[in-house]
Amino acid sequence: MTKAIALFSGGLDSLLTVELIRKQNIEVLCVTFTTPFFDARKALSASRQINIPLEIKDITSEHLTMLKSPRYGYGKNMNPCIDCHTLMLNIAGRIMEETGSNFIITGEVLGQRPMSQNKQSLYVVSKNSGYHDYILRPLSAQLLDPTNPERENVIDRSKLLSIQGRGRKDQMNLAAHFGIA
């Protein structure tokens, strides 16, 4: 059975990503992280809504170490997005290896956050995570280079999407299609 690890915030994009991948008969394990700065309440509630397993992992120690000296510096209000996403994808990659999963998925949408979700930033984050070729962003995959699971036909790239930008119309239509409120 093909398996994917989903970085799961519980937001609309992560919900849609999980459903899109499950439609391809791929088993998904959602992972969310906690630190003193963020918790798992939203992810826990959303995972119950779509009846999907959720692993909650406290990454406080690794997160604080990264915050003390982020490689790419601080964004507005001490928000080192690139470094934080790199850390989360690295941890997800380790979980992927431990569980024998095939790849990692995220709900990131190209251009939705101009500073951290542009092509260059997405590439830097995945490369620095150590799992570059195993990170799939299904909502924008057709706008990005194919990853290993796509090239090896573990997943059908033609069923992935090409959503980009800050608008939410495509996501709202997809949510209605999947019956997500």
Q: What is the pLDDT of residue 117?
A: 79
Angle between helix axes 12-22 and 41-49 (nearest 10 degrees) is: 40
Q: What is the pLDDT of residue 73?
A: 63
What are the C-alpha distances in Å from 106 to residues 15, 65, 78, 117? Answer: 10, 23, 23, 12
Q: Look at 15-24, 36-45, 66-75, 149-158 and tell me which has the smallest mean pLDDT.
A: 66-75
Rounded to whole angstroms, the Cα distance separating 147 from 113 reads 22
CB atoms within 10 A of CB 150: 20
pLDDT band at 47 (very low <50, low <70, confident <90, very high): very high
Structure tokens at 14: 């992560």
Calculate what percentage of the chain has a pLDDT beyond 70. Answer: 92
Q: Give the tens place of pLDDT for each residue, 51-62.
A: 999 999 999 898
Q: What is the pLDDT of residue 140?
A: 97
Q: Give the tens place of pLDDT for each residue, 79-108.
A: 457 888 899 999 999 999 999 999 999 999
Q: Give the tens place of pLDDT for each residue, 104-131.
A: 999 999 988 766 778 888 998 999 999 9
At residue 78, does pLDDT exceed 50?
A: no
At residue 75, does pLDDT exceed 50?
A: yes
Paired with 56 in beta bridges are 32
Rounded to whole angstroms, the Cα distance separating 127 from 139 reads 19
pTM, full prediction:
0.90
